[in-house]
Amino acid sequence: MASIDGGGSLAPPSCESCNAAMTLIGRLPRILLRPSVHVFRCFSCDNVISEEHRASESSQDQELTVPGV
Would you tell me which residues interact with Zn ion (CB under 5 A)?
A: 15, 17-18, 20, 42, 44-45, 47
Closer CB to Zn ion, residue 36 or residue 47? Answer: 47
d(CA 9, CA 11): 6
Please give the single-letter amino acid code of residue 18.
C
- Coil vs helix vs strand at 50: strand
- Give least dist CB 23 to Zn ion, A: 11
- Taking alpha carbons only, the member of 52, 49, 56 closest to residue 25 is 49
- Give least dist CB 39 to Zn ion, A: 14
- Give least dist CB 49 to Zn ion, A: 10
